[in-house]
Amino acid sequence: MQEKSPQRNRLLIGILGFLWLLSIILLYFVSHKPFSETTAANLGIAFWRILVCLVIFSLAGGIGNSLLRRFKWQPDLHPLTMLAIAGGLGLGMLSLAIFILGTLIGLPTWYLWLVLILLLAFLLRGEIITWWKNLFALRSLWQESRPDGKLIGLILFLLLLCTLSITLAPPVYFDSLVSHLVMPHAYLRQGRITYLPWFFMSGMPQLVEVLYLPALALAGDPAAALLGWGFSLLCTLGLLGYLRQRFTTTTAWVGLTALLSGSTLVISTANAYVDWAGLCFGFGALVCLDLWRQEADRTSLLLSGIFAGFALGTKYTTGVLAIALAAALIWHCWQSKRKLIPNLLSLTLPALAVFSPWLLKNLLTTGNPVYPLLFPSGAMTSLRMQGYQDLSPWGNWQDILFLPLRATYLGIDAASGYSVTIGPLLLGLGALAWIGLRSRPQSQKNTLQTAIIVALSGIFLWVVGNQFSGYLIQTRYYYSLFPAFAVLAAGGFDSLANIKLPAIRLERLMIALILLVLLLNLLHVSSDTLTSGAPQTVSGLQTEDAYLTQTLGWHYPVMEHIRQMPAGDHVLLFFEPRSLYCADHCTPDELMDRWKRDWNTYQDIDSIKAAWRAEGFTHFLYYRSGANLMRESGAVQYTAEEWLALDQFLAACEDPLNFDEVYLLYPLR
């Protein structure tokens, strides 16, 4: 008893001493606050949004893991690759479930979203824990990396950290304000996923937008952007593990760097678009096709088809991936003398099955399964389709013969043509993947051959697509092919690094060039991030209104004015497709073709006004700067006579509320 007494005393003293220190620290910071209440509130909201997205991804990972276990699919893949495969599969299936239930039954309110998600996560807790354990492999990969690999990894982490701060700020990117966030908001307001006659883009496949629904309902717009950012993290981790298994650790880091060496690919992780989801599903399809090639496993081929269908569910143009995969399958069947038809059906039927709900929805609501494409239907008249699809091929004969080089050299973010900065490494390294191909181990040879066929088939379709419509030259429509490009870049680096030259360390020279490219990209992205004001907004150093006004100019104050107009007022946006910040108070001019349609229909100023009033509009907002830009650039959608008629129409209207000549708000009386 005497021995226990001093031990108890020491324990008591230790506890009391710790509590004393803790109380003094807390007392000190009550009067010496390290940050303002606004900052604390903003950081708390950011934490909640991250938590919501973590739960959604965890639920998806649990669903994917459970399905793979039921398929009895246990391939020899790197844990990080399995993390991406299971997570991608779960996200696709979760989206389909929400879509079907949201269409047939309706969408729950925010608290029911929370209950349902937490309940499903609890039921799948074992699978979720198993899925998260795959992430521990990142630690082993980091430990085995050389110093140059760790430096590359650190820079890539900083790039994604920059874009993370952008996701947590209010959305400002064009397409998110036009469509990707507008549609899910409309569905939440209606309480159901339906056809939106005023918004032709609601006919597009919306696998990602449907996933945004619970994130928007529980944590607002930035949570949806964060969900899109999560797709990029899932894809990059999976690619890192896949390349590590096929090549070396350093080669894996380089392959990932090639993918993220272009500023557009990095920034697009944060813009609440659907591009990285297409990349993620494209990665899953490529890996599973490669496994089928190596092991002749039918389940892998079925999964490749499912991922191809999910990719097609992000946007129609990712159909290029399905065709490229089919081309690779045909080549492999011919080379290995496998039966073509059964294998081709194993690839295409699952893709069609998971894509068919979007086709069925369009068929039932508009009579056109691929609305708004191919033929007039729903809100897409022949006049609208002509303006939407008929754009002359971009460029010249060089864009037929040298498309990869032109896409790299001429591709500049938001510029005409390719419109994406992809960086120099995908082409610079990928074009070297053929070196020493025959002498490689069979597994590497198979992987590179699959990537080569997918890449070449995709590039061929890219060239052909541009000949049908100049819109199809844009690089972003082909992001689902980029995992194959990254695999080739890794193979090219590995090929050159294995060439031994006297007195020259070729690998070190290449690493130096790659680090230079990566550092320049970090400088670009970090500079844009800081000047955008996103980090300051997330931390509470700047208000959201100030951030939106700084980034969007007059657009946001005008949208704020519309939201504050009297109840019953409804505004037609004229030459302005962005409607996110005036949703429920305005109707967008999606294709900026409203004037062309109405003028060609009525040919009379008073009739046009009467038609607008009959639709319930009390005002129209003329985006003068946007219209002038179209006029000065010679946009093919409008003729000189139609522009003249517009001038006469505006002159016949009442005096508008003028927002610095950028926007003019006209009453309709």
Taking only the tens place, the pLDDT of each residue in 632-663 is: 877 767 888 999 999 999 999 989 999 999 99
How far from 543 is each of 269, 300, 423, 527, CA to CA, in Å?
Answer: 23, 49, 34, 20
Tens digits of residue pLDDT in 578-618 = 999 998 899 999 989 899 999 998 988 999 999 999 999 99
Chain mean pLDDT for the chain: 91
pLDDT at 225 over 90: yes
Distance CA 268, CA 342 (A): 38
Three-class secondary structure of residue 32 per DSSP: coil
For residue 3, is pLDDT > 70? no
Pick 505 or 80 by higher pLDDT.
Answer: 80
The band of 1, judged by pLDDT with boundaries at 50, 70 and 90, is very low
Mean pLDDT of 434-454: 92
| CA–CA separation, 575 and 588 (whole Å) | 8
Note the pLDDT tens digit of each residue in 397-432: 898 999 999 999 998 988 888 999 999 999 999 999
365-380 CB burial, b ≥16 within 10 A, e <16? bbebbbbbbeebbbbb
pLDDT above 90 as % of the chain:
72
pLDDT band at 27; cut points 50, 70, 90: confident
Q: Quick one: pLDDT at residue 552?
A: 95
Strands in 619-623's sheet, in edge-to-edge order, are: 586-587, 571-574, 619-623, 663-667, 657-659
The mean pLDDT of 52-60, rounded to a whole number, is 94
For 134-184, the pLDDT digits (tens) are 999 999 999 999 999 999 999 999 999 999 999 999 999 999 999 999 999
The pLDDT score that the predictor gives to residue 64 is 96
Predicted pLDDT at 390: 67
**pLDDT value at residue 41:** 84
- The length of the chain in residues reads 669
What does DSSP assign to residue 439?
Answer: G
